[in-house]
Amino acid sequence: MGAEMTIDPPYEPATIMGGLYGDGAIAPPGAFTPEWADRMREDIEQLFAEAQAIPGGALPRGPERYYVEVAPERVRGFVDIATHPWFVAVCEAVLGPDYRIVEIGFDIPFPGAADQPWHRDFAAPEATIQGRRLNSLAFNLTAVDTLPEMGPFEIAPGTQWDDIAPFGDPMFPPRDLWGRYSARAQRKLPRRGDLSARSALTIHRGTANRSQMARPVLVVGVDAPDANNAAHHDLQVTPAYLAALPARVRDHLTCRVVDRLTPIVQAHVIERLVVETG
């Protein structure tokens, strides 16, 4: 099914890079229609039910919060995302023409999810701390219209450049620095069809879900050629699916070709998100 796009190119590299090198997150509203997002939610709900039945299929990321990695062909809108002009423009502007799609998954905070500790998704590489260059991005697509009581994503703009490793943990700043992030915090309230891009190094957290509704979000991870995040993931495709992909998607996938898709037992476990809350 083709994408139903509601925003128009061109997209200026300077604007894209200014946003991601500045605040660390950018988002044009309404990249897809709400109906497109509703189909994505159907896929997520089916995939989560399957993951729950598999040891290691759904990783806890705190109380009542889970992350699941999936195969691209199990998400009907994957090609729509990977060929969206804004997605392509952002990847090329920040990561270069040889960017690699290395991850697709989803995060779900259910009712009762707690405030997470402030963190980044992985340790900042030398390219960022020393070279002041971003070599990976995460794209998010909400499956619901986000309300304040649903535990929205909270981000501290500009903190992708913070070197927190000297404080003991390269992913989690110590509590005595949390005031810095709380003072800068911006809560994101995306709606169905919105697409955003961020540096996963920008300090952020999921907040408490005090509603009666889950808040599923699809995540697509993309690397520059010198990044190594693919080592933490297991992107799988079948030969028939790979052959049917447009070249502009196929040529950017870092994946394993398999005769039959197998459940993804995830390697990117973040232990402190399980044992700590904000």
Query: What is 13-258's CATH number?
Result: 2.60.120.620
Phi/psi class of residue 158: alpha, beta or left (left: φ > 0; alpha: ψ in -120 to 50)? left
How far is 228 from 125, CA to CA, in rounded Å? Answer: 10
Phi/psi class of residue 132: alpha, beta or left (left: φ > 0; alpha: ψ in -120 to 50)? left
**Straight-line distance from the first to the last Cα atom of the chain, in angstroms, rounded to the nearest whole number:** 41
What single-letter amino acid sits at 166?
Answer: P
Q: What is the pLDDT of residue 8?
A: 52
Contacts of 188 (CB under 8 A, 6+ apart): 25, 27, 146, 152, 153, 154, 155, 196
What single-letter amino acid sits at 135?
Answer: N
What single-letter amino acid sits at 238?
Answer: T
What is the band of 4 on the pLDDT scale with cuts at 50, 70, 90? low
What single-letter amino acid sits at 196?
Answer: S
How far is 214 from 44, CA to CA, in rounded Å? Answer: 12
Each residue's pLDDT tens digit, 51-95: 999 887 888 999 999 999 999 999 999 999 999 999 999 999 999
Each residue's pLDDT tens digit, 193-208: 999 999 999 999 999 9
* Domain extents in the chain: 13-258
How far is 236 from 14, CA to CA, in rounded Å? Answer: 34
